[in-house]
Every structure is written in C-alpha cells, then in structure tokens.
Chains A and B, each alone.
Chain A
Amino acid sequence: MKHTAAFISRRDGVLLAIIAVVAIAVGLRAPVFLTLRNALDIANDSAILAILVMGQMLVLLTRGVDLSAASNLALTGMLCALAGRAWPGLPLPALLALAAVIGALLGAVNGVLITAFSLPPIVVTLGTLSAYRGAIFLASGGAWISDHQIHPLIKGLPRETWLGLPALLWLALLAVAATAWLLRWRREGRELYALGGNPSAATYAGIPVNRRVMTAYTLSGLFAGISGLLWVGRYSIAFTELAAGYELTVIAACVIGGVSIAGGIGSVTGAVLGVLFIGVVNGALPVIQVSPFWQQAIAGAVILFSVALNARSQARGVRQILETKHTAVTAGVAA
C-alpha cells in the first residue's frame, strides 16, 4: 500500500514537472504565457473540464466508462436554456438544481441499464451518447438558443468573481474537493476502488456493487449536468452539436492523469494534473502560433504516451500471463 502511494505521488510529480517544463518553454518564447492573467484564463478554460473529469473518474474507477457525458452536458444545457427562456423569473438556485437533477437522471439511466441488465458500459453509453444528442434536437426543434435568449443568470454565473477568483474556478474546486472527500474519507468512495480492483472479491466482501456503480454513473451525470449549465452560460449559446466529441477530451484528461481505464486505480490529484496538462497545451498552441489543427493530434499522441507509461509502471504480472518464463512458472505454482 505504501509503495502504491509513493508511486502515485511520483507519477504526479513527473506530470507536474512536464507541465512546468511546457509552461516555461512556451513562456520563454512568449512571456505573456507566464502572466497571472493567462494562468487565470487557462484555469477558467479548464474548470468545466475538471468538473467533467471528476465524474468520469468515478466511473472509470468502477471499470466502466461514460461516453455519454458530453451529450448529457449538451442536453442538460439545452433544457436549462429552454427553461430559462420559458420562465425568466427562475432564480439561480432553481436553475442549478434543475441542471443537477436532469444530469443525475440521465446518468442514472446509464446506471440502471448497466446494473439491471449487466450490460457493458461502453455500449450502453455509446447508445445514450446518440440518444441524448438526438433528444436535444427534439427538445429544441433544431433551433439555436442564442445569446439574447439565454437567461441572464445562466450567463452571469460563469462571469462572477468571488474573492478575486472566477466563479468557474471556485465551482471546479468545489467539485474536486467533494470528489476527493468522497474517495478518501467516505466508505462509498473506498468501495469504488475496491470494486474496480476486483469486482468479485468486492461482492464477496459484502460491497453492494450494483448500488455503488449506480452512484458512480449518477454522480457522473450530475457533474455533466452542472457542466452543461456552466458551458451554456460561458459560451452564451445552446445548440444540438454543443460540445460534440468532448467526451474523448474528458477521458484523455483522466488517462493522462493516471486514472486506469481497467478500473480501481486513479487519484484526484492525478486527474486534476491531467486537466491542467490539457489546459496548458491547448492554451500554449495559439501563443506559440501552432495551428489549432494540431490540438487533436497532440491530444491523441499524449493519450497513447500516457497509457503506455501507465502500463509500464503498473502492477506487472497481475494481468499478464505467459509473458515471461518466470511469471508463467509462478502462475503455474499458484494454480
């Protein structure tokens, strides 16, 4: 256990160092990159991603994946925008609650399908990815909700400043703190690691696996829903293709941050660093005048590099059979 803890912090340290090197290298070419203002810009841009990553991480820990996160974000955002247009008197808490409830419900649909019918998460969320995306079209009739039709409170929230920091950043910090608290100090959170590490052992140990998986998908949906409200507010627009394909960026941030797609491994610190990495790279490209077309290719290369790195350092042996003579022998003895 101690070994694992030490390793994780070392990986985080390396990632942090890489981020620092990238930032300084870019800063040398364009000093504007290292100003506080730019740092705040990057933090602000990464805030929504951080919230989404927290939800995705919970799901990844259970050996699942939530591909519908971006569609959920867009659908919830659109429904909130429509609600805000229909009832201009809605107060902010009501809008936030609406986003949370819709998002959580959409997430729970994934959870029910996965647990009640023991379906593979990737296929279920692939299905709901298209289904939710289509639902946006049905809800809006294909129309765009543009700047002047969006509820002023929705637009206002991401532009608030609390105690000198942008509200988006505070909300992201809140999501990160809540997730860290859940995963570190709550039994439910510890059980997510346990069941991701070994589902059958978790069942034998008396962990209500299905209920925990439900929790993970519902929370992922909830985070996605809140992100939807923030996204619509920040960019002042809601339309069918909003944030399309963003689920891959979310998963990329998790993987870069050291969250294992095979479940049971991952830390909040790592995930936040993953978000930061993507934020810094995306923020750096325009500054050093690299075409934004490179963004996606770089993200892909980084994903591959990080998973390869993860696989190298993680638990040799457990999943590898017939790899080396030595492990084969020990496997034989164990059997």
Chain B
Amino acid sequence: MKAFDTWERVLLALIVLVYLLFGLTVDNFLSPYALADSTFNFSEKGLIALAMALLVVSGEIDLSVAATMALCSLAMGFAMKAGAGVPLMLLAALATGIACGALNGWLVTRLQLPSIVVTIGTLSLYRGLALVLLGDQAITGYPETLSTWGNGTLGDLLGVEKLIVPIEFAVLLLAAVAVGLLLHRTVHGRRIYAIGANAVAARFSGVAVNRYRFALFVFVGIMAALAAVLLTGRIGSTRPNLAMGWELDAVTIVILGGVAIEGGRGSVLGTVLAAVLLGSFTFALGMLNVPGIVMSMIVGALLIVAMVLPRLLRRLKAPTGLRVQGA
C-alpha cells in the first residue's frame, strides 16, 4: 500500500515514454502551450476518477457518475435560466450531485443492493431524466466567469501572463493532494482500505462500513458536480449527452492506475498518473488525427493489458506449484 510502488513507477516511465516519443515525432508536442493544452484532455475525467478510486478501493463502483455530471450541468443551466447568479448556479450543481450520490448510497447501503446494478439503474435514470428535461435542446449562454474557470489559466486569475497552468489542472492537482492525504494519511483512508479488503471483518472491527460507503457515494456526486461545472464552463453548453460514456473512462483510469477492482488495493498517485498517461496519450493521438473511436479502442485494449500484464509477471516470478492469491 505504499504510495509509490512498482506500478506507479511503470506508469511514470510510460508517461515519460509517451512525451518523449510524441515529442520527437509530433511537431510542437513539447511546447509549453501544447503541454498546457493537453491537460484539458484529462482534468475533468481525473477529478471523477479520483472519487471513483476511493469508491473502488472500498469495493464498490459507480457507473452513474457521468450521468450525474449531465444532471449537475442541467441544474446549473436551469438555475441560470431562472436568473440565478454564479454562486447559486454552483449551489444547484452541488446539490444535484449530492442528491444523486446520496440516492446511490442509500440504495446500496440501506437496501443492500450490489452497487453495479444500482448504478446501472441510476445511470439510466439520471441520463433519462436529463433527456426528458432537455429533449434535443441545449442550454447555452453561460456567464464569462464559468468560461474562465473552464478555459482559463492561473495566469488569467492572478494577472501573471507567463503562468499558463490551466485552472482545471490546478484544481485536479489540489483535489489529488487532498484525496491522497485522506486515503494515505488518515484513519479514514485506512478504514476505506479495510472495508475494501474485507467488509465483514471491518464491520466486526467496529468500522461503520455503511456510513463510509454512503459518504463515498456522496463524495463521487460532489466530484461529479465539480467536474460538471468545469466541463460546462469549458464547452459553454449543456446537452443531455454531456460527458457520455465518461464512466467507462473513469473506471479505466482507476484500473490502469493500479486500483484492484475487487477493492482493498490502489493509490491516489497511481490514479493521477493513469489520468495523465491516458490524457496525454489520447491528446497525442488527436494531434496525429487518429479518430476518437480508435482511441477508445486503444484505451480498452490498454485496460486489459494493464490487468493481464501484472498477473503474467507475477505468475512468471512465482515458483511453480505456489499460487499467489491477491498478493
């Protein structure tokens, strides 16, 4: 459970490889502006992946996260149409995210349902509600402030022109540090690992398992709201198909980041590195005009390779006749 383990080193090496490879072959890939630009490709996904990582470490999953984002963005849009200012719009998004997460959490903890079925159901429900409320319309005309948050740089905010770090990326880093501290440095983090490793044993040891599960689902909702605010600001519009399919991207990032899907293992650093790796890789492919669908195919293949590879290595390393289980 060390934060910087073999897998994180592999990811880091892969990131360096991606930047070197594409830096040498694609013009301007390593220019500061392109680098800053590439972070837009993974910042929002990274945010939801962070929350998803906590959830997966605890042995649950939330496939409704992207649909939650759509609803949050919708809430912002409706708040704006009703004449609300930016703070109220944020509040609307946040409240929607919390409500969506709380419904998931309630169904999982109170009714004792498997989270994968619950969130497949709420995925349909939330996305469906977005469709019902918005139809084939779009909400546009968001205030300038939001656009700045989505597209701007820290330099814009602080009035320093040279500082071209995008605000979204800064938010991601800040969130990563906070989540990292929570998971790796507090008792709550230890308990999340304990729940993921063996929920029954954790319950017997006095961990309020269901309270943690509920809180984690709500946390995913909050992060979805945050990601939705940034994404809406960046693209400047709300459509019912906003962030369509992102739940799969977030799960891919989490798994590629070395979090075990069965729970109990994984690190925040790995998740962030995986987000950067996937983001920069697809950004580079985009610069090479590779179509999006082919990228997602490569990402899917990567996901499988990322799981098969460590198991193959472990099998090769383990002496014959000895079965290493979940080590």
Contact = CB atoms under 8 A, between A and B. Distances in A.
A83 B146 CA distance: 50
B111 A311 contact: yes
A117 B308 CA distance: 7
Interface in B251-299: 251-252, 255, 261-262, 291, 293-299
Given A134-B296, A248-B120, A311-B111, A127 B135 contact: no
A118 interface: yes
A140 to B, nearest CB: 11
| Chain A residues touching B, range | 35 or more
A170 interface: no
Interface in B87-106: none
A-side interface mostly: helix
| Chain B residues touching A, range | 35 or more
A307 B121 contact: yes
Contact of A293 (B131, B307, B311): B131
Contact of B203 (A113, A123, A304, A321): A321
B158 interface: no
A301 B125 contact: yes
Which 7 A/B pairs are nearest by Cβ-Cβ distance? A134-B297, A297-B128, A300-B124, A130-B300, A300-B125, A296-B128, A303-B121
A237 B109 CA distance: 44
B304 interface: yes
20 contacts: A120-B262, A123-B251, A123-B303, A126-B251, A126-B252, A126-B303, A127-B301, A127-B304, A129-B248, A137-B297, A248-B120, A261-B117, A295-B128, A297-B131, A298-B128, A300-B121, A303-B125, A307-B113, A308-B111, A322-B203
Given A120-B262, A122-B116, A131 B301 contact: yes
Interface of B: 61, 107, 111-114, 116-118, 120-129, 131-132, 135, 200, 203-204, 248, 251-252, 255, 261-262, 291, 293-301, 303-304, 307-308, 311-312
B321 to A, nearest CB: 17
Contacts of A72: none
Contact of B126 (A118, A261, A300): A300
A247 to B, nearest CB: 9
A321 B112 CA distance: 11
Nearest to B302: A127
Contacts of A120: 261-262
Contacts of B127: 296-297, 300
Contacts of A162: none
